[in-house]
Structure formats: structure tokens, C-alpha cells
Structure 1
Amino acid sequence: METAQSQEQATTGPFTAFARFVLCGGGVGVASSFAVAGLGSWVPWALANALVTVGSTLLSTELHARFTFGAGGRVTWRQHAQSAGSAAAAYAVTCMAMLVLQQLTAAPGAVLEQVVYLSASALAGVARFAVLRLVVFARNRSQAAATFHGARPVHATVARTAAPAGSAALCQAA
């Protein structure tokens, strides 16, 4: 039997999901940009970006599973692996943006670096939303929707007379 929260999450529309994605992913992204900037002063920027990307991907995948896409519970290792693929693409986009910035400007300021990094992250984030919604968490959403929307009502009198003893336990187990 579904809870009210899982029914609400199963019916989450694309606009609500995108708003939640922006809130969760954007919050983690902004925090990540400061972490990359800070860590980048001690280690090469690409390494700092890689380390922060790994940590932020794990955190944001958990947040997206629980709040954005309503997958319920913790994320599976398979979903983490699939999510990591989109994060790797986002990492490549942010690295390329920063390399282009370095080629175009000899000594960019911290504000310009943040603008370029966050812009590249936003572009990659839109693509990541599509991948997470359509691939990584699509199965959970479609199964929940099928359970919620596809259930056909059965009249109680038919179920009592047609069902053999013990079938209620079988239905609940399935």
C-alpha cells in the first residue's frame, strides 16, 4: 500500500521536478563552486574540480532520488553509476569552459571564474536533469505511476466470491 508521500512523488510533474532539481542541484552546485575555488588554491584546478565533482555527485544523486524524482529510499549503486556518467560529462563541460577562459584571459579574476564555472554548470545541469529524469530514475517513476494509475478497482463482492482463501496474502506480497 502506497503512502500519501509516495503517491505525491509518483505524480510529480516535470515542472515541479525541475524546480526541485534546481533547488537541490543548484544548492549543491553553488556550494561546490566555492569548494572548487578554495581547494583549487592548494591543488591543480582540474584535480580540485574532480574531487568536488565526485563528492557533490554522490550528495546530489541522493537528494534527487529522495526529493526531486521521488525514487524513495536510498539510491542504488546502479543509479549512482548511471548518475556518475552524467556527472563526468558535466565535469568535462566545466573543465572545457575554464580552459577556454584561461586561453582567452591571461589572469581572470575570481568573479569571472565563478561566472564562467556556474554558467557551464548550469548548462550541464539542464542536460543532467534530462538524463536523470529519463534514464536514471525513469524506471522507479514508471513503476510507481503504473501501480498508482494502472490499478483497476475491483468490486468487493466479486473479490470475496471469486478469490480463494489466502489470495489476499498473495496480493499483498506482490
Structure 2
Amino acid sequence: MPAARNQQQAAPAAVTSFARFALCGGGVGVAAGFAVTALGTWIPWVLANALVTVVSTVLSTELHARFTFGTGGRATRRQHAQSAGSAAAAYAVTCLAMFVLEHLVAAPDAMLRQTVYLAASALSGMGRFAVLRALVFARHRSRTTTSAPEATPRPLRAVTANTSAPVDRAALRRAA
């Protein structure tokens, strides 16, 4: 029964975290989409995507640490490194989506490129949410969603005999 109660308590936290993730990550993602499109007109798209991914990952990791997952402060170096790993996977997904688009459509316009990029970003964003919540920022969340502590056995008291006094064998048998 306590496990079911903890799952019920954790569900709103997950929904709230996802809403915050969508707000923060989605806002950064939409801005990143415009930035990639603009930069992609001056430099190769893959390079533009890489630059924007780095900047948006640092920004979104800070937002997620402070707001989404409520760690109460700035993201640590470890959290930035782990978040960068999930961002690398997201980068691969967006590159693959754009590669497929280029092979399916001879001359995609900016609106189609933006739509494909944002769709791939949204898909990879859902995966990133799962990774960030379960692995990167899990330590802070686990304090509030742990199950009830299990009963620990009481330590046994040692029976000692006072060697200076006569030993009461009956008392020793009762204590054992």
C-alpha cells in the first residue's frame, strides 16, 4: 500500500516537471530552431546545428536545474556533462531527420525545414526528459519520493559476566 501511495504522490511531480520541461526546453528549442535556420544560410547546416545545440544545451540545463527539476541552484559540472550526452543523441536525431528530408524532398523550403527540425527536436526532447529526470537530476528528486523505511533489526545486547563477582548461572540462562 505505501508503494501505491508514493506512486500517486510522484505522478503529479512528473506531470509538473514535464510541463516545466516543455516550457523551458520548448522555448529554448523554438529559439534554437530559428537560430539554426538563420545560421544555416551562412554556414553549413550541420555546423549551425552543432553550435546551436551546444549553446541551447548549456542554457536549458541551467533552466532545468533551477526550475524544471528543482535542484535549488545552478547545474553542476556533472549534470552539464550528462545533459550534454543526451543532447548529443538529440543532435543525432535532428541531423538524421534533416538528412532524410534532404533525400526525400529535392528543394525543401524554410517552413518545411523548420517543421521537420522542430518535430525531430520534440521527439528527442521527450527522450531527453526521461533521461534527465531518471538519471541526471534524480538524486534531488529521490529525497521526496522514497518509500517507507523498512524495519531494521534491533542490535543484540551482549551479555557480559562480571568476573569479580560470583557468576549467577540462572541469570545468565534467563538472559540468553
- Same fold at TM > 0.5: yes
Secondary structure of 2:114's match?
A: helix
1:44 is the counterpart of 2:48: no
Displacement of 1:136: 0.1
Counting matched residue pairs gives 139
Letter in 2 for 1:67: F
Query: Which residue of structure 2 aligns with residue 22 of structure 1?
Result: 22
Moved over 6 A (4+): none
Q: Paired residue for 2:75?
A: 75
Does residue 117 (structure 1) correspond to residue 117 (structure 2)? The answer is: yes
| Shift in Å, 1:91 | 0.1
Q: Is the 8 A contact 1:28 1:60 kept in 2?
A: yes
Give CA deviations for 1:46-87 in whole Å, capped at 9, x if unaligned: 000000000000000000011100011100000000000000
**2:57 counterpart residue number:** 57
SS of equivalent residue, structure 1 residue 26:
helix
Offset from partner CA, 1:93-149 (integer Å, 9 cap, x none): 000000000000110011100110000000000000000000000011113x279x9
Q: Which of 1 and 2 has greater Rg? A: 2
Identical-residue share of aligned pairs (%): 71
Contact 1:69 1:137 in 2 (8 A): yes
Bigger share in helix: 1
Which residue is 1:166 aligned to? none
Q: Aligned partners of 2:71, 2:52: CA distance in 1, in Å? A: 24
Map of 2:87 onto structure 1: 87
CA RMSD of aligned residues (A): 1.8
Determine the structure 1 residue equivalent to 2:103. Answer: 103
Rounded to whole Å, the distance in 2 between the matches of 1:83 and 1:27 is 17
TM-score by length of 1: 0.76
Query: For 2:136 and 2:13, how far apart are their aligned partners in 1?
Result: 16
Following TM superposition, by how much is the alpha carbon of 1:44 offset from its aligned partner in structure 2, in angstroms? 0.4
Separation in 2, partners of 1:117, 1:127: 16
Map of 1:133 onto structure 2: 133
Equivalent residue letter for 1:116: V
Amino acid at match of 1:31: A
Structure 1 residue 11, shift from structure 2 partner: 9.8
Q: Is the 8 A contact 1:69 1:141 kept in 2?
A: yes
